Amino acid sequence: MNKALALAAVVMLLAGCSSRVADLTVASTKNYNINSNNFVKGARVTAEDSAPVVIFPLGIPNVKTAIDRAIEKNKCSVALSDVVVTQFNHSFLFGKFGFLVEGTEVIDRGQPGCENAS
């Protein structure tokens, strides 16, 4: 009986789910020249914004913050293309929940210092 109870507790602590929230062609939270002729595709990047859960949530995650973090991984990146936004909840009393953003960097070589960026 104790083994079954311990197993159930472990399963509940490790349980979580995630669901796809959005598929976006282009996403950006930055101001940039959309008419630039110097855009190139960069690497595939992921970033998240999450909040801890200790019986109740200790913050409010934000999709904008997750997108900002993904774009800011490269100083020459101005947007993301082929974006997937996923909401996750990996908690039962304890854990974390939030948003995961994955996309391909859109790099603007027209920015200062970014002439050879890739």
Tokens of 111: 């920015």
Whole-angstrom Cα distance, residue 115 to residue 100? 30
Written as one string, the DSSP assignment of 30-67 is S---TT-S-EEEEEEEEEEEEEEEESEE-S---HHHHH
Task: Provide the residue type at 64 as one letter.
Answer: K
Nearest 5°: phi and psi at 10?
-65, -45
Q: Which residues are paired to 18 by β-bridges?
A: 88
What is d(CA 32, CA 85) in angstroms, rounded to the nearest whole number? 22
Residues 6+ apart with CB under 8 A from 114: 75, 76, 107, 108
Mean pLDDT value of segment 51-57:
90
What's the pLDDT at 13? 56
Total-model pTM: 0.81
Lowest mean pLDDT among 7-11, 53-57, 68-72, 101-105: 7-11
pLDDT score of 30 more than 90: no
CA distance 57 to 91: 10
